[in-house]
């Protein structure tokens, strides 16, 4: 992932939290998908999954290397890194699996794509992912699955039923292949809360070698009704060393897990607002559901992979 946080905001989710993913099997997985598709469509129609205060304009600057951090003083990123390491420990010791509605909004080749909504199941060991896309319309019904160490390292995927692409049925793809990565910033192998936390730590460790970094903590931010601590990281001047102008991480106070991340690039012109690079939100997060191999089996009758 490319980034960390910036700028006080209150992020109020839409009404997607009114429906809980307590037990997919009990109410029927595709009934759940239908309900959330309606919720997702309403959120898209209203604009964004979350409302965020506008970022302050950043002055454009000549891109060059950032100066090294003065060794005698604690880097502003140190408190944030300590929190991230504590979060990683929580994940490593207590998180076995989870379900969520993930909302991703990415800039691909300079163009901001439409938000994508998907139901996901994730198991930590062995790392396993199942995705069912809810929207936009051209992705509704698409499914993907990846299990570490299975299927020769490939993922399974099929396009939405009834579409031209869907006629090809389920295909087995390398996660990093051109087809699998079409309109994606990251492969399926890098999805999830644990991977996000790991990447944030890596970026933080890299960035603390340099100065020109501002870090702020804000209590009481909300994501989809969940009370969070928002960590905001700002690199005010565009430098080759840095991946972002502004980044924000929202840490769920109860779960002690990151449930939203957003990052912005520097504007092209002085006075313009930063440019959204990517944002990811994990709504309706339900942890330790007790998923089994059946939840990550393409032959599961609740799914539509149709693999013989």
Gap between the Cα atoms of 190 and 200, Å rounded: 12
pTM (2 d.p.): 0.79
H/E stretch holding 286:
strand 275-287
Q: Is 219 exposed, middle or buried (0-12, 13-18, 19+ CB in 10 A)?
A: exposed
* pLDDT 10s digits, 206-233: 999 999 999 999 999 999 999 999 999 9
Q: Which residues contact 81 (CB under 8 A, 6 or more apart)?
A: 201, 204, 205, 208
* pLDDT 10s digits, 273-303: 999 999 999 999 999 999 999 999 999 999 9
* pLDDT 10s digits, 83-114: 999 999 999 999 999 999 999 999 999 999 99
Burial 154-187 (b: 16+ CB within 10 A, else e): bbbbbbbeeeeeeeeebbebebeeeebbeebbbb
Distance spanning both ends of the chain, measured CA to CA: 35
* pLDDT 10s digits, 108-155: 999 999 999 999 999 999 999 999 999 999 999 999 999 999 999 999
- In the chain, the domains with their CATH numbers are 15-296 (2.50.20.10)
**Residue 251: pLDDT over 80:** yes
Portion of the chain with pLDDT greater than 90, in percent: 69
Please tell me whether residue 205 adopts helix, strand or coil conformation.
Answer: helix
């Amino acid at each position: 992932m490319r980034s960390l946080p910036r700028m006080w905001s209150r992020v109020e989710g839409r009404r997607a939290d009114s429906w809980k993913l307590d037990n997919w099997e009990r109410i029927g997985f595709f009934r759940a998908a239908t309900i959330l598709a309606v919720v997702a469509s309403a959120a898209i129609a209203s604009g964004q999954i979350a409302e965020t205060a506008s970022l302050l304009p950043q002055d454009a600057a000549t891109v060059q290397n950032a100066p090294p951090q003065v060794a005698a003083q604690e880097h502003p990123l140190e408190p944030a890194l300590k929190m991230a390491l504590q979060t990683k420990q929580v994940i490593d010791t207590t998180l076995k699996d989870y379900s969520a509605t993930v909302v991703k909004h990415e800039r691909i080749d300079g163009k901001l794509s439409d938000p994508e909504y998907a139901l996901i199941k994730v198991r930590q060991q062995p790392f396993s992912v199942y995705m069912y896309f809810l929207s936009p319309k051209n992705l509704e019904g698409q499914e993907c699955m990846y299990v570490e160490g299975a299927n020769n390292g490939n993922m399974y995927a099929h396009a939405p039923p009834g579409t031209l692409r869907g006629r090809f049925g389920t295909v087995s793809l390398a996660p990093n292949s051109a087809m699998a990565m079409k309109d994606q910033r990251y492969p399926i192998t890098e999805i999830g809360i644990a991977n996000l936390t790991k990447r944030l730590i890596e970026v933080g460790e890299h960035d603390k070698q340099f100065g020109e970094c501002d870090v702020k903590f804000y209590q009481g931010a909300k994501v989809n009704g969940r009370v969070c601590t928002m960590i905001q990281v700002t690199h005010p001047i565009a430098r080759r060393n840095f991946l972002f102008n502004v980044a924000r991480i929202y840490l769920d106070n109860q779960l002690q897990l990151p449930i939203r991340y957003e990052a912005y690039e520097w504007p092209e012109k002085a006075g313009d607002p930063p440019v959204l690079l990517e944002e990811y939100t994990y709504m309706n997060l339900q942890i330790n559901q007790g998923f089994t191999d059946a939840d990550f089996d393409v032959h599961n009758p609740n799914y539509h992979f149709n693999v013989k």
